[in-house]
Structure 1
Amino acid sequence: MPISNAELHLMLYPWLAVGHINPFVQLARKLAALPGIRITFLSTSGNVPHITELLSDFPTVSILSLQLPHVPGLPPGIENTADATPSMTELLKLAVDLTKPDVATLLTRHRPHAIVYEFAHPWMPSIARPIGVKALFFSLFSSVSTAYLTVPSRRSCSGEMSKPPPGFPAASSISSVPNYQANDFAYMFKSFNGMPCVYDRVVSCMEASDAIIMKSCMEMEAPYINYVESEFKKPVLLAGPVVPDPAIGKLEKHWDEWLQRFEAGSVVYCALGSEAILSDDSIKELLLGLEMVGSPFIAVINLQKCDTTGLSPEQVLKKKMPERLEERVRGRGIVHTGLVQQQDILQHKSVGCFVCHCGRNSLMEGMVTECGLVMLPQFGDQFLNAALLAGDLGVGVEVERDGEVGSFTREGVRDAVKKVMGDEKVKEKQRKWREFLVDEELQGMFMVKFVEKLKDMVNSNNNN
């Protein structure tokens, strides 16, 4: 019996990291805004309050709590990578594997039409498919990243990460990557304590799935989407770019008052994400480069999670700043550590440039504003996101780097910012893609078509 509009039920289970939970929440919000869709969101008890807060205004979304099983060496209460060291993160993967029996019970009890999962759950299809539940792998990364790093053809050339895998789209602007990026990509094939490497986890999940969901669209990444579909020989369902919802609330008064002092589009905002930790030399080059631009700026610097010196984060930051910088930029430059209202700042009329690390969420937040993009990617898929935007789409400018070690100079930062703020061709490309992304009717159609394909899959399952 084909499902009706009132009966599509999806279960979502993201990996235990803020950068993974939030895109699942975004997807849940987009789906729940459509009629006739019910969502059940799974996570461990420590993450449920955060998820509940973000989804509280959607009555068709239920949130179920899982108890994270104990794993020797993983301290109690560690349920998110934000609180974990790299070694703890590997143990967290083991703990998530141990949730398999509880997830199987919930699937049997709730019988959703499909469960949406990711790399941390390679066992999901084995418990979903026997009871008629579709297993849909949700790729949180750009299609270009998937195409370059995690397709079956990459197995044959895992030792040559500087080159694309066989069959990679010839139309791509990426014919090779610098050595510092290739060395970073090699992490995909490292095994920790005999556990499967990231590549094996991701590819096995995708190969076992019934379909692959991507946060993309043909307008932006057609060659890479087609390549991924041909590599895995299964449907790729496109959820669209999944543009973030507008910021809720108002920008804090002290930030708003400071920004109001400057002309429209004159302020440079720089933030390189919550995961990347810059070296002391890189912090100095970045800040000196921003100073050299001559424009007002806000620089948000992420510091190590744990400091054993007894100093406050602000005191640590002052020690890392270039000598007398604070005096020289007083009144026109702010160097900050800690959380800020990034979306609100980017949407402020005074801000005209965003120096970013090219994480997917930050890129989307930047592209829907009037800000020009300066790209300073730090690791992993960020390098390929930057190549896609600066190369294929012509949006923004990458900071020039040393090809062997990836270092950059103050002059490189200055030149990239000045080009983005002054080059009319770059600005026109930015305007074009902004108009595309803020077109609510068009973006809504991506989700409508996505749901139609989901229903077709479920109905084909019922008819078999």
Structure 2
Amino acid sequence: MRFTFQVFSVHRCFPTCHGHASSDSSSSTQTSILSSSLLHQPTTMSAEASLNRNPHVLVFPYPAQGHMLSLLDLTHQLSLRGVTITILITPKNLPFLSSLLSSHPSSVTPLVLPFPSDPLIPPGVEHVKDLGNRGNLPIMAALGKLHDPLINWFNSHPNPPVAILSDFFLGWTQHLATRLQIPRIAFFPTGAFLPYIFDYIWSNVEKVKSFSEVEFSHLPGSPVFKQEHLPSVFQLYKQSDPNLEFVKDSMIANTKSWGYVLNYFDALETQYVQIFKKHVGHDRVFTVGPLSLTGPDVSGGGNSGSGSEPNDQVLTWLDGCPDGSVVYVCFGSQKLLRKEQMEALSNGLEKSGTRFIWVVKPGTTQQQDDGYGVVPDGFENRLMGRGLVIKGWAPQSLILSHKAVGGFLSHCGWNSVLEGIVGGVMILAWPMEADQFMNARLLVDYVGVGVRVCEGEDSVPDSDELGRVIAESMTGGVAVKVQAKDLKEKALAAMSDDGSSIKNLDRFAEQLGQLGRR
């Protein structure tokens, strides 16, 4: 049974916001676990002095690779535009801030709070990469316990932030902002497609879950999604589960945000941005991507840069390959392929006759014993010279930007999608979970830079068909490759001095500055 919904313009109501002046005093990059005994005591400040202060914003990233890195890149850009930032982080995630803190020692300060305990999270785990996609639910619920410590921090700060900028997985911070009478801005490390769909499905959970297919008739192309292709956390929803009720409330709270920032650029699909602005009833929707082009360590893609020996070996190998001849294969930091999938993928690559780089996520010893993430015996020796297998981390952005790479076999996580677009390569789409089915739909059906090769986290592709699709897609000047090159130019233009994303970054920083003067 299919359920079709129509979308109506909704004008949201926002709380009256009374901004606080922020401090431009020197910020230290030293870190400490803050408790109530260590917080500053309130002081007074004249109205004249407060007008001369830069706006102070609390940034709260969500601890998952695809969420955190892009928000840190945004934080870097805001700091360059005169915004003073306190960034909330838990101890084991602090290393992610190293480059940011070294680039902005006087304007970005870490607020390190202990990661709240949760019975579903092993001690010492503070990042989704250590749990996989299903770890999002307990981590989202655990982080909600920081509400009261943050209230205490705000009330004890001499010059508290005038706004909260937080990931959309932390929608409960909208309630925090309302209590503090300041604006909250929701950060979506995605395009305008996902927040639009999230808004509806979480506001109509029982209705949506009762249908096998949902048609979004007022989106361009009226896309239809199977129930199992809707976002993973939504699929887990059960009314009786307190953690899931908390997540539902957080997701709905996102719709009350004062503003929205999207890691997206207008030329990717302008219609969605306009529809989303109409849906929320205001134009405080800032498309500022691809943020990966603007981070403090953009040359290294947020990792170890281009100077390390393993990187040099990969790039040297690519230098010896013809332009556009290599397909890059990677399924992100969380997904581990089981034995049957590894065998089908390796056979497909072999049968394609195409050069390749395959990044394999290593599993635990037990997972490897069960065949998860294990490259079949003999594969690497048979294809030596035609392909590289990298076990562990790879310099993805550097590889995708190399002229020898023409295709990207991907799970369609949004950060990977944007890195592929910036590299000017077509996407061979194998969406598996989370928002990936929606991203794949956008790339393949609407933007024309992708080709479907498989779908579903449990699916095993036919190796003959997979090899054929890879070979045909990588050969010659097919339309999808031409479109990918064109989209790359549009992405670069968006981040140029007069580009749409740079203008939106400027506009966002300016509006934050106005909040600081209230």
TM-score by length of 2: 0.77
Displacement of 1:79: 1.6
> Is 2:350 aligned against 1:291?
yes
- Partner residue of 2:210? 159
Aligned partners of 2:59, 2:514: CA distance in 1, in Å? 20
Indicate if the aligned counterparts of 2:326 and 2:354 stay in contact, CA closer than 8 A.
yes
Aligned partners of 1:331, 1:281: CA distance in 2, in Å? 25
- Partner residue of 1:203? 251
- Partner residue of 2:59? 12
Point out which structure has higher relative CO (alpha carbons under 8 A, 6+ apart). Answer: 2
Q: Give the number of aligned pairs.
A: 453
- Partner residue of 2:174? 125
- Partner residue of 2:365? 307
Aligned partners of 2:325, 2:87: CA distance in 1, in Å? 42
Indicate if the aligned counterparts of 2:400 and 2:420 stay in contact, CA closer than 8 A.
yes
> Is 2:464 aligned against 1:411?
yes
Task: Report 1:124-143 matches (<5 A).
Answer: 124-143=173-192
- AA aligned opposite 1:134: P
Aligned partners of 1:58, 1:428: CA distance in 2, in Å? 39
- Partner residue of 1:244? 292
Quickly say closer, same or farther: Cα 1:232–1:148, change in 2 above 3 A.
same
Displacement of 1:432: 1.4
Displacement of 1:454: 5.5
Task: Report 1:334-373 matches (<5 A).
Answer: 334-373=388-427
> Is 2:429 aligned against 1:375?
yes
Aligned partners of 1:309, 1:407: CA distance in 2, in Å? 18
The alignment partner of 2:213 has SS state of coil
> Is 2:75 aligned against 1:28?
yes
- Partner residue of 1:273? 332
Indicate if the aligned counterparts of 2:429 and 2:454 stay in contact, CA closer than 8 A.
no
The alignment partner of 1:297 has SS state of strand
Indicate if the aligned counterparts of 1:12 and 1:40 stay in contact, CA closer than 8 A.
yes
- AA aligned opposite 2:443: L
Aligned partners of 2:162, 2:133: CA distance in 1, in Å? 35
Quickly say closer, same or farther: Cα 1:136–1:391, change in 2 above 3 A.
same
Indicate if the aligned counterparts of 2:177 and 2:184 stay in contact, CA closer than 8 A.
yes
Displacement of 1:359: 0.9
Which of 219, 241, 266 in structure 1 is aligned with 2:267?
A: 219
Quickly say closer, same or farther: Cα 1:262–1:157, change in 2 above 3 A.
same
**Structure 1 alignment gaps of length 5 or more:** none
Aligned partners of 2:477, 2:250: CA distance in 1, in Å? 40
> Is 2:318 aligned against 1:259?
yes
- Partner residue of 2:196? 147
Aligned partners of 2:246, 2:384: CA distance in 1, in Å? 45
Indicate if the aligned counterparts of 2:59 and 2:85 stay in contact, CA closer than 8 A.
yes
Displacement of 1:265: 2.1
TM-score by length of 1: 0.85
Aligned partners of 2:151, 2:499: CA distance in 1, in Å? 33
- AA aligned opposite 2:449: V
Quickly say closer, same or farther: Cα 1:98–1:292, change in 2 above 3 A.
same
- Partner residue of 2:143? 96
- Partner residue of 1:430? 484
| Aligned-CA RMSD value | 3.3
- AA aligned opposite 2:299: A
Deviations 1:34-84 (A, max 9, x none): 3x2222211112211221334421232222211223344644322222233
Indicate if the aligned counterparts of 1:143 and 1:216 stay in contact, CA closer than 8 A.
yes
> Is 2:132 aligned against 1:81?
no
Displacement of 1:197: 4.8
- Partner residue of 2:26? none
Aligned partners of 2:72, 2:89: CA distance in 1, in Å? 11
Between 85-94 and 379-388, report the one with greater CA deviation.
85-94
Displacement of 1:28: 0.8
Quickly say closer, same or farther: Cα 1:350–1:456, change in 2 above 3 A.
closer
Which of 39, 43, 59 in structure 1 is aligned with 2:89?
A: 43
**Structure 2 alignment gaps of length 5 or more:** 1-46
Quickly say closer, same or farther: Cα 1:350–1:15, change in 2 above 3 A.
same
Between 211-220 and 19-28, report the one with greater CA deviation.
211-220
Indicate if the aligned counterparts of 1:287 and 1:299 stay in contact, CA closer than 8 A.
no
